[in-house]
Each structure stands twice: as structure tokens, then as C-alpha cells.
Copies of this chain bind each other. A is one copy, B any other.
Amino acid sequence: MSPAARNSPGLSSDSASVQDYVKVIYAFTEWQDKPVTMTALAARLKVANSSVTEMVRKLVDLGLANHKPYNPVELTPEGLRLALLMVRRHRLLETYLVHELGYGWDEVHNEAELLEHTVSDTLVDRMSARLGHPDRDPHGDPIPSADGTIELPAAHVLSTLDEGHQGRVARISDANPHLLRYLSDEEIRLDTAVTMLGRKPFGGALTVQVGSGGRVRELDLGDELAASVWVMTEGRHEGCTLEKS
């Protein structure tokens, strides 16, 4: 079966590869703001640098990206629109698998990575409806709405939390399943309260207090862990809204 015109314009017409490239380019700047280099894309996509060069040229031809030779890549409004649609699919799929089919939050990423290219808009919408139109996925990543709007929570990396201050877990990078499993085991999940106690001397681990009410624990966090967890401090709720095109 050929990818027919059963979806949003400029969605089913794009190959799975194009979809993944665009999505990765977007994801690169969702929580940071560094320039997106060819090498970085190659590493993330597990592909040779030369392959990225070629595909980026294609993205430019398709009007999805802007690129001047030897410079970083940027999405066009058109590319951003496609990226947000793909991100929506990916995150809704993850959420659906966790809430409706009993997956663990460390098990859903690969499944969603493939399914996102195959599900129809109809299916995505039905899953969203079934879930009550959730606004974040199991890892706390915001789910773009069907019209291509996304609202980023005003969360910060845990390691930047000031000593003595408290926050709630708002997001956890889903890059490392082992890390996710560890956090589950430690009963740290979205919205878990965390208080920064301080850093052990000489570049040591961060120490945090986990939980708020009854059972409170202290926990040392390694560097990767501290860099993978985002927290939201109470009160603040601004966030920032990205619109399509």
C-alpha cells in the first residue's frame, strides 16, 4: 500500500525519513536553543554526516527547512508545522500506550517512533479523544494540539534549582530507558515534589529531598540524572506558546 492521501496535507506525502528529520530538528531546540548542526543531527539519527547533508538538501527542496552551506539548519514555518504534527503523534501514541495498554513509560518510545509514521490523523484524533485530550505525555512533554499549537511548561533543569527551594517534577527526558526505570523504582514520577538540599563538595552528586507530605526521603542524583529531570517551581505557570506558521 502506498502512502495515500489519507492525512493532513503534506504529511502522508512525506516519507518516514523526512518526518523523522524534521521532528528531530524541532526536538533539538525544544528545551535548549543551540544551533542545530549537521553532526548533531547525524548523531541523533544514527546516520552518517553525508546522509544528513543530502537529506537536509531535500528538506530545503520541500520547503521544510532553510539551510546555507556550512551553517546550522532551521525549520521553515512549514517545517515547524510538520514537526509539531509528528510530535503530537509521537506523544499521543506514548500516552495511549501507557494509559490504555499498560506500557511502562520506559517502554513506549521505540514503539511510538515507528507507529508515528503509520497512524492516520483519524486514529490520532480518536486516541486523543479517548484519553480526554491530554496536554502532556508520560514524560511530561507537552502535546501539541491538532492545529499545531504547543505550550511549553516553564520548567527548568533540576540541577538549576536553588538550594532549599522546592519544585515538582515536570518533565523527564525519555532518552534513556534505564534512567526512567530507575526513577520508577525510586517512586519519582511526574508531579513528585522535590526539594534541593545541595551539592556534595568537589563536584559531587546533588542531594535532593523527594516527596513532601508523609514519607520524605533524601536521594543523591548523578549528573546524567540531574540533567534529565526538569522541575517546575510553584506559582510560576507562564510557559510559552508556539504557533504554527
Interface residues, chain A, CB within 8 Å of chain B?
A: 1, 4, 6, 20, 97, 100-103, 107, 110-111, 113-115, 117-120, 122-123, 126-127, 130
Contacts and interface: CB of A to CB of B under 8 A. Distances in A.
A130 B101 contact: yes
26 contacts: A1-B20, A1-B110, A1-B113, A1-B114, A4-B110, A6-B110, A97-B123, A100-B100, A100-B130, A101-B123, A101-B126, A101-B127, A101-B130, A102-B126, A103-B126, A107-B122, A111-B119, A111-B120, A111-B122, A111-B123, A114-B118, A115-B115, A115-B118, A115-B119, A117-B118, A118-B118
Contacts of A126: 101-103
Contacts of A117: 118
Copies in the assembly, this chain: 2
Contacts of A6: 110
Contacts of A101: 123, 126-127, 130
